[in-house]
Chain A
C-alpha cells in the first residue's frame, strides 16, 4: 500500500508541510465548494433580505430604522442581550469545568439536560414561564398581590431568552475541554497553584476560542429569538416588542420593505459582534 502513495508533490518538500497541505487544486476545489455552499445556503437568503429592504429606496429604509417603535425595540433587544449573555456565559464555564475536569456518575445525563432547551420548541420555551409566572401559574397569585409583573414584561422576555440560549456556551466548551484533558491543570495544582490562578492562567487561554464562539452564538441567538419571546412579550408596542417581533409586526402590516430593513438591522448588529471578535482575536494574537 505504501508504495502506491504518490510522491509527486516534490521531494524538496519536507514531510511536515506535505502532510499538512493538500495539493493546490484540491485546496482550491474545496474552498470553491465551500464558498458555493455558503452562497447557496446562507448568503442567498440574506441577499433577499437586503434587496427587499432596499426595494423602495433608502428613504423608506432609513425611516423604518429611525422609527420610535423600532428604536425602542432595538433598545430592548440590546438590553436583553446584555443581561442574558453574561449569565449564560458564567454558567457555561462553570458547567464545562465541573463536567470535563471531574469524573462522576450521570455525566451524560447532565449534559443531555443542558442540551434540553435546544430540543424544546421555542413556543414551549415561552409557555413554561407562563405556567410558572402567569396569572394562573404557580407564583401567579403571589406576584399579582405584590404587583410584580414577570410575564408580558422585561423579566419574562429575559427568562425566555435565557432558556433559549442556555446551552450555547456550555455546549461549545464541553467537547473542547474534554479533548484537552486536565493534565496541565493538574500539574499546576501539584506545583501549588490556586484554583482561580489555574483557571485564569491555564484553562482560560486554552479555551478562549471556544468560549468566544459560544458567546457570539449565544449573543446572536439572544438578539434573534422570536418564538419564545413572542409568547411572553404581550406585544405592547414601544414597550415589550423586541426587534424580531417588530419585524413581524411590520411584515403583517404589509410594510415589507420596512420589515426587511429592520431585519437587516439585526444582521448589522450581528456583524458588529463579529467585528468585536476580530478585534479580540488580533489583540490576543501575540
Chain B
C-alpha cells in the first residue's frame, strides 16, 4: 500500500513538472535595440491608445533610434488597478480615476506624489459627463433635474463596479448641491430619486451603453462625453443626440509611471517619455480626435465645436477621491443607503 502511495506522488510530480516546462516554453526574449512597454488602461481608451501608440513609436524611433512596442491591456478601471497590485507588470497605468492609482501607490508600487509628477494633475486629457438621448430628444431632457421627472428611465452603470459611473453619480450630486444652497441632505434626496429612475444597473460603462442603444431601454444614458461622442459616431448618428446639462463635473483620468516595475525592467526613460508625449501637440490631437478634451490651450480653440463649453466643477468639491469614495461608495455609504431600506 505504501509503495502505491509513493508511486502516485511520483506520477503526479512528473505531470506537474511537464506542465511547468510546457508553460515556461513560451516566454519571449528581447533584443537590445528594442524595448517593450505595457500600458494598463481602462475600457474606453482602446481606440485612443491604439493610435497614440503608433504615433509614439514613430516619435521615439526618430528621436532615440530605438524600437518600442507598446502592449495594451484594458478592463474595468478598478479591476486593472487590482491586477497591477497583484503583479501585472505594467510600466504605465492610465486609469479612470485617481482613486485606483492611489490604491496602487498604497501598495508601494508607485512613489508618493505621483499626481504632481506630470502637468495638470497628471491628467493629460479630460472629459465630462453628458446625456445621450434618443434622436430629437422626445422627452425634452435638458438638465439634471429633468431626469427625475415623471416616468423618465435613466441608464447608468453601477458606481460600485464601474469607476466611470462614480463620475456620473458625483456630477449629479454636485448639480444638486449647487441648486440647493449646498444642502447635503437635499443633494442626497436628489440622487436617491435619480437612482429610482434607473431600471438596469449594468456593471460597466460600455454595458450600459449597449443596454441603452442596442436593447433600446431607457430614455437617457448618463455617459462620459467621449463615450457619448463615440457612440453617436459608431452606433448611429441617426438614432442618438447628445444633450449638455447646465453644469457637470470635470472628469480627469490620470496617468502614472509604475515606479517599481520600470526600475526593475530598466524602462523608466521610455515610460516617462511615453506619458509626457501625451501632452505634446500630436498627443493632444490624437486625444481630441478620440473625443477626449485636450488640455493644451492651442488645441482647445481648434476643437471648441466638438467640446461644448459648460460650467465644470472638479472632484476637489468633494474633498478629493479618498473622501468621496469613503463617503459615497464604500459599503454602507450613501449609495448603499439609497437601496437598502432602514439604513
Contact = CB atoms under 8 A, between A and B. Distances in A.
The answer to whether A and B touch directly, with their CB atoms under 8 angstroms apart, is: yes
Interface of A: 83, 87, 90, 94, 130, 133-137, 140, 144, 148-149, 151-155, 158, 230, 234-239, 249, 251-254, 256
B71 A237 contact: yes
A233 to B, nearest CB: 9
B19 A252 contact: no
A236 B84 CA distance: 12
B296 interface: no
Contacts of B71: 236-239
Interface string B1-43: 0000000100000010001101110110000000000100001
Given A149-B27, A154-B23, A253-B46, 4 more contacts: A83-B19, A87-B19, A136-B85, A235-B75
Interface in B70-84: 71-75, 80, 83
B72 A236 contact: yes
A135 B83 CA distance: 10
A189 to B, nearest CB: 15
B208 to A, nearest CB: 11
B87 interface: yes
Given A87-B15, A236-B38, A254-B234, A155 B75 contact: no
A83 B8 CA distance: 20
Contacts of A140: 87
Given A235-B73, A237-B73, A253-B46, A134 B86 contact: yes
A254 B233 CA distance: 11
Interface in B108-153: none
B214 interface: yes
B83 A234 contact: yes
Interface in B226-242: 230-231, 234-235
Contacts of A155: 20, 23-24
Given A155-B23, A158-B19, A256-B214, A135 B74 contact: no
A144 B109 CA distance: 14
A133 B230 CA distance: 39
Contacts of A87: 15, 19
B88 interface: yes
A58 B74 CA distance: 28
B85 A135 contact: yes
B87 A144 contact: yes
Contacts of B107: 135-136
Nearest to B41: A235
Interface of B: 8, 15, 19-20, 22-24, 26-27, 38, 43, 46-47, 71-75, 80, 83, 85-89, 107, 204, 206, 209-210, 214, 230-231, 234-235
A92 B294 CA distance: 58
B86 A130 contact: yes
Contacts of B15: 87, 90
Nearest to B214: A256
27 contacts: A83-B19, A87-B15, A90-B15, A133-B87, A134-B86, A135-B87, A135-B107, A136-B85, A136-B107, A140-B87, A148-B24, A151-B87, A152-B88, A154-B23, A154-B26, A155-B20, A158-B19, A235-B75, A235-B80, A236-B71, A237-B71, A239-B71, A251-B206, A253-B46, A254-B206, A254-B209, A254-B210
Contacts of B20: 155
Contacts of B214: 256
A251 B235 CA distance: 13
6 closest A-B pairs by beta carbon, nearest first, are A135-B87, A134-B86, A155-B23, A235-B73, A152-B88, A252-B206
Contacts of B27: 149
A253 B214 CA distance: 13
A239 B19 CA distance: 19
A83 B87 contact: no
A133 B46 CA distance: 28
B235 A254 contact: yes
**Most chain A CB inside 10 Å of its own CB: which residue of B19, B209, B234:** B19
Contacts of A254: 206, 209-210, 230-231, 234-235
